[in-house]
Structure formats: structure tokens, C-alpha cells
Amino acid sequence: MFAKEIEEYEALRGSYDEKVARPMGAEESRKYNEILFSAHSCAIEGNSFTVDDTRELKEKGLAMVPRGASLLEAFEMLDHFNAYEYMTSRLDHPLDEALLKEVNRRVMLHTLSYRSPGATPGEYTDVDMAAGDTLFGDHAELVARVPQLLESTRQALSRPDIHPMVVAARFHGFFEYLHPFRDGNGRTGRLLSNYILLRSGHPLLVIMREQRDEYIAAMKAIRKEATDTYLVSFFFKCAIARMRQELSQVSANPSRLGLFLF
């Protein structure tokens, strides 16, 4: 299963590494990805910051809050920077509850008290959760299954016959199904899915805000149809589209220089 997607993805990944990732260098790539990923991951949750807004916030801090945006959105983005930087600097850390809780703590550090007074960032929910039109069920039962998810994911990562993108997507789908925190489950799940990819040597996966509806539909299919096939395919689709788009940008730039020559 997913043989076609894996073949297409891997064919692009070599070119992407050679023409985009390596020439950019580790530090520049990290900064570029932090802004792009943070902007789109927070936008999926309703944040209004554009990629340009996010870049300015990263460079200038709270001195730059775009007109029409709230201070809460700015703190949400700053917390995401914090969580992203923590995650990318801990790729040698085991995938365990300590990592999971610390990523969520950083994601929700300055905004959880506003959204859920009395709740503690990084601690599992003590009430049943809902999101949109989805009721997740008995929170205690769902939280109790988190260690099993982490263990099965660790085992899958050690198996050469399972592609890391499949592991990342299945982890994400099951994590969101469990919905173990009071808030920030989506951002936390997307960060940890990328932890899985990055530690396996793969490019960062960015789900664009424009892909939100398709993403949500793929997530809902897990509950409605008892399958994560749509989500796995969606992860590959996002990764392939991004690599193609950035390779196209890189290959187009040299030819455009001719427009400015005498």
C-alpha cells in the first residue's frame, strides 16, 4: 500500500535535497521552515497571521503586531516558535510522554489560561473534549492509550519496511483521535509528526492553510470510515506538492536573471 506515493515522493526527495535543502544550509533552512510551518500550522487553528506577518514577528517580536490581528494571536505564534525550536533541537530525544508534554506546554504557554482558565499547559485534560462537531469521548480512557501510541510509533520507526511518512501520518491521526490535551492538540500533533520525519532525515511537512478542509476531511475519515488511508495519502500529497513547488522556484530563478541583462 502507498507504493506509488512512496515512489513519487522518494524520486523528488533526492532532487529536493540536492537543489533546495543542501544549498540553503542547515541554519537558513531551519529559519525558513520555522516561519513557514508556524504560519500555516497556526492558521489551521484560526490564526490570521500571514507568512510575511510571521516573519516580521520573528524578527521584531511584539513590536510588530499587524493591524487587525490580536495580541493573543501574536503570543500563539511566539509560543509556536518556542515549541518548534525545542522540537528541532531534541531530535535525539526518545518519543515519550516527557517530550509530548513539553511540546504541548510550550505550544500553550501563554494562551491556555485565556482559552481554558484553570488548565495547565503540558498536562493531560481532566474533562471530555470536543472540537468542531466532534466529541472525543471518555478522556480518561483516551489519555490512558497515549503510552501505547508512543510505544507502537517507536517500534514502527525501527522497521525499515514502514516509510517514515506513513508512520508520521498514522501517529498524527491516532494522536488527534485521542486528543489528550485541553488545547493545542493540532499544533502539538503536527510538531510531533515532523519530529518523526526530521529524525528520519526527511524534509519538514507543511500543511498549508489552503489545504485545511481536505486535511480535516481526511482526519474525520478515521472516525467515520475507520481508516487512515486518506490521511496518509494526504500527507504524501502535501509533501510532494511542496517539494515540486520549491524545486520549480529554484529552477526558474536563474533563467529570470536574463530579464535584467543588457
Per-residue pLDDT of the chain (262 residues; tens, 9 = 90+): 899 999 999 999 999 999 999 999 988 998 999 999 999 999 999 999 999 999 999 999 988 788 888 999 999 999 999 999 999 999 999 999 999 999 999 999 999 999 899 999 999 999 999 988 889 999 999 999 999 999 999 999 999 999 999 999 999 999 999 999 999 999 999 999 999 999 999 999 999 999 999 999 999 999 999 999 999 999 999 999 999 999 999 887 655 545 554 5
Helix, strand or coil, per DSSP, at residue 130: strand
Is 253 part of any domain? no
Looking at residue 251, its pLDDT comes to: 86
The string of pLDDT tens digits covering residues 102-155 is 999 999 999 999 989 999 999 999 999 998 888 999 999 999 999 999 999 999
Is 262 part of any domain? no
CA distance 189 to 176: 7
Helix, strand or coil, per DSSP, at residue 129: strand
Looking at residue 167, its pLDDT comes to: 98
Cell numbers at residue 177, please? 483521535
CA distance 36 to 260: 29
Catalytically annotated residues: 179
Is-contact 142 131, C-beta < 8 A?
Answer: no
Looking at residue 258, its pLDDT comes to: 54
**65-92 core/surface letters (b: 16 or more CB in 10 A; e: else):** bbeebeeebbbbbbbbbbbbebbbeeee
Residues whose CB falls within 8 Å of the CB of residue 88, separated by 6 or more in sequence, listed in order: 30, 34, 198
Alpha-carbon distances of 175 from 9, 50, 217, 229, 243, rounded to whole Å:
24, 27, 16, 15, 26
Alpha-carbon distances of 235 from 87, 100, 163, 172, 226, rounded to whole Å:
20, 21, 12, 10, 18
Q: Residue 81: which CATH number?
A: 1.10.3290.10
Alpha-carbon distances of 161 from 1, 12, 164, 213, rounded to whole Å:
11, 20, 9, 31
Is 258 part of any domain? no
Is 36 part of any domain? yes
Is-contact 102 79, C-beta < 8 A?
Answer: no
Looking at residue 132, its pLDDT comes to: 84
CA distance 167 to 200: 11
Is 173 part of any domain? yes
Is-contact 219 231, C-beta < 8 A?
Answer: yes
9: containing domain: 3-248
CA distance 262 to 252: 19
Looking at residue 203, its pLDDT comes to: 97
CA distance 168 to 181: 19
DSSP for 136-190 reads EE-HHHHHTTHHHHHHHHHHHHT-TTS-HHHHHHHHHHHHHHH--BSS-HHHHHH
The number of distinct structural domains making up the chain is: 1
In whole angstroms, how large is the CA radius of gyration of the chain? 19
Is 261 part of any domain? no
Looking at residue 255, its pLDDT comes to: 53
Is 233 part of any domain? yes
Is 126 part of any domain? yes
Q: Quick one: which of 170, 172, 197, 195 has its CA closest to 185?
A: 172
